[in-house]
Amino acid sequence: MAITRRTAIAGGLAAPFLMTGRAGAQAPTRNETLLLVQEYGPNSLDMQGIGSSQPVNGVALNCYDRLLRFKPVPIPGGGGNTIAMGELEGELAESWQVASDGMSCTFKLRDAKFHSGRPVTAKDVKWSLDRACTIGGFATTQMNAGSLEKPEQFVVVDDKTFRVDFVRKDKMTLPNLAVTIPFVFDSELAIANSGGDPHAKEYLKNNIAGSGAYKVESWKPGVETIYVRNDAWACGKLPQLRRIIARDIASPSTRRALIERGDADVSYGLPPKDFKDLLDGGKINVVGVPIPNGVWGCYLNTQVGPFKDVRLRQAVAWVMPYEKIKQAALFGRGVSMDGGTTPKVAWPQPFPYSSDVAKAKALVDAAGGPFSTTLYFDAGNATVAEPMAVLMKEALATIGITVEINKVPGANFRTEIAKKTNPMVLNRFAGWLDYPDYYLFWTMHGNNSIFNIAAYQNPALDKLVDAARFAPDKASYDANVVDFIKLVNAEVPMVPINQPTHDVALQKSIGGYQFQPCREPDFRYLTKA
């Protein structure tokens, strides 16, 4: 064939395609490098800072150390490890001891070094915990949730000994030291670069000053974050992976294609249908953990609108298409919350309702017959919430409740639920600390937090929840929990629908998956064959 101008151009256009095989082969570090694809990455490197997004938890987890961490326990269905609330192990703490009066805890620190080479001292721990308590915003709220309220509680005994004084006996204090907020900064480095700000917010937002298992090699917000292993990490077994590349890929279809073709090692945040397909396909591992303390619920306004009438709230619980929602909205990736029997000390747990149209219809008729209402949900959750809402609309129509669906854009949703006037809201809430009283404190307690979407007010419930929060022993705790579960079973300010599964897709060569309550990837345990 003669080389004409036309063939030359065609060849030129095709050349880059033909070359790709070689381009892939020349990457030498592929086996020590993990490529993770996620929807969006961190907007800061400082989880204590105000306005930090969800993925910043991952930075805190991998680049910083806490006093304590959750002990890995095997996932019942296999595939890796999860955590159990009460089981903790030392991270920066070599050992810890709760005082005999139960009102303080003393920590002995390990010989750990910051990335800067400075040893970690009790002074650094105090500076960091003080910061979390005083910086405001989410960090302070989270600290308060475990009764960690003021700097005076944090005491430097000597360089290697640190004490936390309790303001009250609270079973959540120690677990709350293991979440991704109370992590330890290199206080000298932070202060030196703070430019006069006592919290060094600007510096820590853009720089890591920690002792954690990974350092941030490069961070391009909205594009990628590259982590490299800290070979001097002292707080656990040295991770196998030397380098982690976390790329932000907005389109879920692209993320799925990348993991199916084998180009990405780990993919987070796919729609439930994709996880199911990948699982059925069998080429990719999908590890699912039912989200502890997390549940999709339909909140029914108890103060204004038709659902003031408890009979109508029960009617919704009786007519909810639990099984259809599980299959059609979650593709089986979740646990249905219907058909409960005796109340247990657990949350979420099935309520004693199941789909029974006759019972629901009778309740609606008794309450005065057909009416119309509106169902709200966050557009950001639409992949799952939209089919759910449609199924609910269809089911409620059979008992004479006409539902109009209102999809609210993400930035608006909070303003909308803060009004507390919406008759029906579909929302998913998950607490970091896995205790029933913790969940109800946020969603049904008379303190009327933003997540008490049903605006439920009941002094009897408040008393039980408060009693459980600060219960002196297990027996009284269990009794209070069972009592408030019975109460909300009958009152149903929220109809629990389904406990969703937190899914992650991994190549078969990736092992050591560890679930964390913050639901971000923990690179420290991951292995690559």
**Residue 140 or 336: which CB sits closer to other proteins?**
140
Task: Give the number of C-alpha atoms closer than 13 A to the C-alpha of residue 308, restricted to the C-beta side.
Answer: 7
Q: Does the footprint of other proteins cover residue 248 (CB under 8 A)?
A: yes
Query: Binding other proteins by CB under 8 A: which of 7, 11, 30, 165?
Result: 30
- C-alpha to C-alpha distance for 325 and 387, rounded to whole angstroms: 8
Nearer to other proteins by C-beta: 219 or 275? Answer: 219
The site map against other proteins for 69-108 (x = CB under 8 A) is: ----------------------------------------
Residue 3 C-beta: closest distance to other proteins, Å:
20
Pick one of 95, 97, 253, 421: the residue that binds other proteins (CB under 8 A): 253
Task: Return the residue of 4, 16, 76, 117 that touches other proteins, per CB under 8 A.
Answer: 16
Of 111-119, 133-141, 284-292, 348-356: span binding other proteins (CB under 8 A): 133-141
User: How far, in Å, CA of 58 to CA of 45, rounded?
Assistant: 9
Q: Give min distance, CB of 26 to other proteins, in A.
A: 7
Q: Is 196 in the site for other proteins (CB under 8 A)?
A: no
Burial of 461 (0-12, 13-18, 19+ CB in 10 A): buried
Give the residue, chosen from 53, 116, 402, 509, that forms a contact with other proteins under the rule CB under 8 A: 53
Q: Does 20 bind other proteins (CB under 8 A)?
A: yes
Please state, in angstroms and rounded to a whole number, the distance separating the CA atoms of residues 477 and 481.
6
Paired tokens of 222 = 């909205």
Q: What angle do CA 290, 417, 133 make, to 5 degrees?
A: 70
- Of 100 and 415, the one with the shorter C-beta distance to other proteins is 415
How many whole angstroms separate alpha carbon 441 and alpha carbon 444?
6
Candidate list 48, 52, 62, 176; residue touching other proteins; CB under 8 A: 52
* SS3 of residue 145 by DSSP: helix
d(CA 388, CA 255): 24
Residue 348: asked if its preceding bond is cis (omega within 30°), the reply is yes
Q: Of the listed pieces 95-103, 125-133, 135-143, 284-292, which binds other proteins according to CB under 8 A?
A: 135-143
User: Which C-beta is closer to other proteins: that of 25 or that of 475?
Assistant: 25
Q: Which one of the spans 120-128, 172-180, 185-193, 258-266 is the region binding other proteins (CB under 8 A)?
A: 258-266
DSSP symbols for 488-501: HHHH-SEEEEEEEE
Smallest distance from other proteins to CB 513, Å:
21
Nearer to other proteins, 37 or 317 (CB): 37
Closer to other proteins by CB, 27 or 475: give it: 27
Contact status: 221 vs other proteins (CB under 8 A): yes
Torsion sign, CA atoms 178, 181, 182, 183: positive
Which stretch, 108-116, 155-163, 249-257, 301-309, contacts other proteins (CB under 8 A)? 249-257
Contact 508, 345 (CB under 8 A): no
Nearest C-alpha neighbor of 317 from the set 259, 373, 363: 363
Crossing angle of the two packed helices 436-443 and 459-469, in degrees rounded to 10: 140
Pair 376, 419: CB distance under 8 Å: no
Subset of residues 438 to 497 that bind other proteins, contact rule: CB under 8 A = 442, 449-451
Q: Which of 74, 86, 102, 136 binds other proteins (CB under 8 A)?
A: 136
Q: Please report, as residue ranges, which positions from 389 to 448 form the binding site for other proteins (by CB under 8 A).
A: 409-412, 414-415, 418, 442
- Is 10 a residue that touches other proteins (CB under 8 A)? no
| Tokens of residue 27, six digits | 């990457």
249 binds other proteins (CB under 8 A): yes
**Quick one: which of 67, 112, 264, 526 contacts other proteins (CB under 8 A)?**
264
64 or 439, CB closer to other proteins?
439
Q: Quick one: DSSP state of residue 381? A: G
The answer to whether 364 and 370 are in contact (CB under 8 A) is yes
30/169 with CB nearer other proteins: 30
Tell me whether residue 442 or residue 470 sits nearer to other proteins (CB atom): 442
205: its two tokens: 């937002």
Given the DSSP bridges, would you call strands 68-74 and 93-98 parallel, antiparallel or unpaired?
unpaired
Taking a C-beta distance cutoff of 8 angstroms, is the pair 442, 452 a contact? yes
**The only residue of 137, 198, 368, 370 in contact with other proteins, by rule CB under 8 A:** 137
φ, ψ at 429 (rounded to 5°): -125, 140
Is residue 167 involved in binding other proteins (CB under 8 A)? Answer: no
Exposure on the CB side of residue 81, measured as CA atoms within 13 A: 16
Taking CB under 8 A as the criterion, the residue among 104, 113, 138, 311 binding other proteins is: 138
d(CA 29, CA 375): 51
Query: Hey, what are 255's tokens?
Result: 């993320």
374 token code pair: 């509106």
Whole-angstrom Cα distance, residue 399 to residue 365?
A: 9
Nearest residue (CB) to other proteins, 221 versus 352: 221
**Interface with other proteins (CB under 8 A):** 16-17, 19-20, 23-24, 26-27, 29-30, 33, 35, 37, 40, 42-44, 50-53, 136-138, 140-142, 145, 205-206, 220-224, 245, 247-251, 253-254, 257-258, 260-261, 263-264, 380, 409-412, 414-415, 418, 442, 449-451
